[in-house]
Structure 1
Amino acid sequence: MTMCGRLVVAVLLLLAPIAASAQEFPTKPIRLIVPFPPGGPNDIIARVIGQKMSELVKQPIIVDNRAGQGGVLGTDAVAKATPDGYTVAIASAGALAISPSMEKVAYDTLKDLAPVTLVATVPEMLVVATNVPANNMSELVALAKAQPGKLNFASSGPGSLPHLACELFKLTAKIDIVHVPYRGAAPAVNDLLGQQVQMTFLDLPVILPQIKAGSLRPIALGGRERAPTAPDVPTTTEVGMPDLIIENWYGMVAPAGTPPAIVARLNKLATDAMADPAVRAKLAEQGLTLAGDTPEHFRDFIAADIKRWAKVIQDAGVVTTK
C-alpha cells in the first residue's frame, strides 16, 4: 500500500469512532439552555421543540433557564460547556448578533459557538399609544417631524432589538424621537398603555392581545409578509420603508468544537421536530414562523445580522459599553 493509501486508511480509522458516536447520540439527557426566564417566546420555543426532540430520541431534554443580561449569561454558559452535544441553547438575536457590538461579552459568537439551526423568526410590530394622533406610518412620521425631540419610544432595554429597531426607524424616516429604556417588555408595555410613552417596536406575540383589545394602535409590521394574526396591518415595505425589516429570531447553538457529526445529528433532530404539524401549529399560535436550515446557512445568517446591527449602532451613534 502506498503512503497516500496508508494515510487515507489512518484518517478513516480515526473518524470511524466519531461517526459511530454520532449515530448513537444521544445516550443520555441533553441540557437545553434558555437564556431567559420561563414563559417568554424563547422558553416556549425551547419547551415545544425540546419535547418533540425528546420523543424522537427517547432521551430527556432538560430545559435550563439561565436568565440575565438580555440573554448573554445563558449564551455564555453554553459557550463554556463541554463540546459534546449534551449542552445546547436556544438563543436569540440579541445575545448572538447585537450584544457583542453593544457591550463586553465573554464570548465571540462565531468563534465560541457552533450554529446548529435557525429555529424561528417573529416580526416586530410598531405600535403607538391610543392618544397619539397618528393612524398610519405617514401620519406618524409627519407628527414626529413637526415635533422633533418631543415624542418618546420605549424599549425593553439599551441595546435590545426594540431599541435598535427604533434607532433604525429614526435613521430611515429621518426623525428625532427619544429613547426611554425599560427593564423588559412588560414595563414598557405598561407605560405605553398608560400613555407615558408614545410608541415602541416589540415582538408581535407580546403586544397582540393589546392590539386586538384596541388598547394599542398598530402602525406597521417589520416582517416581510403580513402576519396571519394581524392581517390588516401593512408591512414596513408596503408603507415605503423596505429597509425597515425588523424580525427577532431564535436559533440553536452548541459550544464551538462540538464534532461536526454531532452538530449534524442535532440539526436533524431539531429540524425533524420542527417539521411536525402539531409543533408548527402550536408555535404558529404564538405568532412564530418556524425556519430550520443547515448549520452553514445559519452561520452565514448570524454573520450578516451581526454586520447589519453593528452598522445601525455606529450610524445611530448608540452609546456602547465595550
Structure 2
Amino acid sequence: MNTITHTHTHTPPLGLAPLRQLLAGAAAALLASAALAQGYPVRPITLVVPNPPGGFVDASARILSDSLAKVTSQAVVVDNRGGGSGNVAYQYVARANPDGYTLLNSYSAYHVGNPNLTPKLPWAQKDFVPVALITVATNVITVHPSVPAKNLGEFISYLKANPGKLSYASQGNGSLSHIGTEMFKLQTQTSMVHIPYRGSGPALQDVLSGQVQVFITTPPSVMGQVQVGKLRGLAVAGKARHPGMPAVPTTAEAGLKGFELEAWVGIFAPAATPADVVARLSEQIKAALELPETKTRADGAGVELRYLPPAALASLVKKETEFWARTITSANIQAE
C-alpha cells in the first residue's frame, strides 16, 4: 500500500506582507519626523503677513521675528502679502511645503471672519494647523479733529443727528475694524459710510487728511497720532485703559457698556506639517515671547504679548468662529 504524503508550505495570511510594509513605512516616517523636529530649524523661516507694513498684524510679526531668530539661531523673514482681505497670504501658505519653514502670521478677523463672510474662499481653516497665539490688542475709537465731538457721548449724539454724514475706514472688507464698526453702529443705532482699504497704512493716511473721519482700530496703528493730537481718541474698547493712551477712557467709562473689541494674531502652519515640528516650533515661540526685549518692543508698539499652545489656540478659533457667525448675521454684513 502506497502512502501519499502531502508537503505543506506555510503561506502568510493574505494582506499581512503589505501590512508589515505599511507599518515599517509608518515607523520610518515617525523616525524621520522626530529627526526633522530635533534638527528644526536648519534654515531661515518665513512669516507670511496678510497685511501691508504698518499696524497691529505687521507689528506682531516683526516683534516675534527678531526674538525667534535669537532662539532658533536662524533668520526669520517677514513677507508681507496684502490683498484680497488677507486671502492672498492665506492661499499662499495653505499651498506651501508643510515643513515648518513657511508660516502664517494670522489675523483673527481674517481667520474667523472670512470663512463666515465669503462663500467661496480659496482656503479653509482645515488647511492650517495652529502653532501658537502670540499677541492681542484691544481697539480704540478715533476720529479726525474736524469731527465736532470731544467725547464718545457727543460723538454718538452727532452721528444720530447726522445719519450717513461721516465715513469710517477699515483695513478691508471682513477686517475687525469693519465688523467692529458695524457692531458699534448696531449697538448705538447710528449710521456711517464704510470705506475699505488694503491695510492700516492706507486707511490711516485718509483718516489723517480728514477725507475719512472715523477709524476704530488697534493701538499700534493710531497711538502715535493720538499722542500728538493728529487724531482724537474717544474710547478704548477694552476692560482697561491703554498704557500708551492713559487719558483715553474705556467704552464703559465713556458710557457705552458692553462694547469690547479684541484682535489677536496667531502663528499657523500648513495642515500636513509634522506634529513634532509644530510642537517644537510652539516651544521656541514661547521662549521668544519670554525674552525681556520682546516685552519692551511690544509695549512700545502698544501690543500685548499672550502665548497659547496649539490646542488652546484651536479652541479659541472654534469659539470665535461661532461668535463671528452670529455677529455677521445680526449686523447683516455682506461681502463687498
**Which stretch shifts more, 41-50 or 278-287?**
41-50
In the alignment, structure 1 residue 46 sits paired with structure 2 residue 61:
yes
Q: With the length of structure 1 as denominator, give the TM-score of the two structures.
A: 0.87
SS of match in other structure, 2:57: helix
Which protein shows a greater Rg? 2
**Within 5 A, what are the aligned runs for 1:157-176?**
157-176=172-191
Q: Given that residues 71 and 94 in structure 1 are in contact (C-alpha distance below 8 angstroms), is that contact kept between their aligned partners in structure 2? A: no
Give distance in 2, aligned partners of 1:41 and 1:146.
Answer: 33
Give distance in 2, aligned partners of 1:65 and 1:181.
Answer: 19
Out of 106, 125, 129, which is 1:114 matched to? 129
**Which stretch shifts more, 194-203 or 89-98?**
194-203
SS of match in other structure, 1:317: coil
Distance 1:17 1:236, change over 3 A: same
- In structure 2, the residue matched to 1:3 is none
Distance 1:157 1:14, change over 3 A: closer
- In structure 2, the residue matched to 1:291 is 306
Distance 1:17 1:242, change over 3 A: farther
Distance 1:191 1:233, change over 3 A: same
Distance 1:268 1:47, change over 3 A: same
- In structure 2, the residue matched to 1:300 is 315
RMSD: 2.4
**Within 5 A, what are the aligned runs for 1:92-103?**
92-103=107-118
Distance 1:190 1:64, change over 3 A: closer
In the alignment, structure 1 residue 25 sits paired with structure 2 residue 50:
no
- In structure 2, the residue matched to 1:36 is 51
**Which stretch shifts more, 170-179 or 39-48?**
39-48
Distance 1:115 1:216, change over 3 A: same
Give distance in 2, aligned partners of 1:82 and 1:256.
Answer: 10
Amino acid at match of 1:207: V
- Residue by residue over 1:128-187, the C-alpha shift from the partner in whole angstroms, topping out at 9 and shown as x without a partner, is 222322222222222222333333322233222211111000111122233233344344
SS of match in other structure, 1:180: strand
Give distance in 2, aligned partners of 1:275 and 1:252.
Answer: 16
Give distance in 1, aligned partners of 2:295 and 2:285.
Answer: 12
In the alignment, structure 1 residue 193 sits paired with structure 2 residue 208:
yes
Distance 1:197 1:82, change over 3 A: closer
- In structure 2, the residue matched to 1:127 is 142
Amino acid at match of 2:45: I
In the alignment, structure 1 residue 235 sits paired with structure 2 residue 250:
yes
- In structure 2, the residue matched to 1:276 is 291
Q: Given that residues 85 and 198 in structure 2 are in contact (C-alpha distance below 8 angstroms), is that contact kept between their aligned partners in structure 1? A: no
Distance 1:158 1:39, change over 3 A: closer
Q: Given that residues 167 and 312 in structure 1 are in contact (C-alpha distance below 8 angstroms), is that contact kept between their aligned partners in structure 2? A: no
- In structure 1, the residue matched to 2:259 is 244
User: Can you give the 5+ residue segments of structure 1 that lack an aligned partner in the other structure?
Assistant: 1-5
Q: Given that residues 45 and 74 in structure 2 are in contact (C-alpha distance below 8 angstroms), is that contact kept between their aligned partners in structure 1? A: yes
Number of equivalences? 313
- Residue by residue over 1:56-87, the C-alpha shift from the partner in whole angstroms, topping out at 9 and shown as x without a partner, is 22233233332322322112211112222222
Give distance in 2, aligned partners of 1:96 and 1:13.
Answer: 34
**Which stretch shifts more, 233-242 or 118-127?**
233-242
Shift of 1:240: 4.2
**Which stretch shifts more, 57-66 or 100-109?**
57-66
Shift of 1:257: 2.0
Shift of 1:12: 7.5
Distance 1:303 1:134, change over 3 A: same
Q: With the length of structure 2 as denominator, give the TM-score of the two structures.
A: 0.84
Give distance in 2, aligned partners of 1:67 and 1:187.
Answer: 12
Distance 1:34 1:196, change over 3 A: closer
Distance 1:116 1:222, change over 3 A: same
- In structure 1, the residue matched to 2:5 is none
User: Can you give the 5+ residue segments of structure 2 that lack an aligned partner in the other structure?
Assistant: 1-19
Out of 121, 140, 144, which is 1:105 matched to? 121
Q: Percent identity?
A: 37
Amino acid at match of 1:96: H
Out of 92, 100, 110, which is 1:85 matched to? 100
Shift of 1:288: 0.6
Shift of 1:265: 0.6
Give distance in 2, aligned partners of 1:134 and 1:249.
Answer: 30
Q: Given that residues 132 and 268 in structure 2 are in contact (C-alpha distance below 8 angstroms), is that contact kept between their aligned partners in structure 1? A: yes
Out of 279, 285, 292, which is 1:264 matched to? 279
Shift of 1:34: 2.3
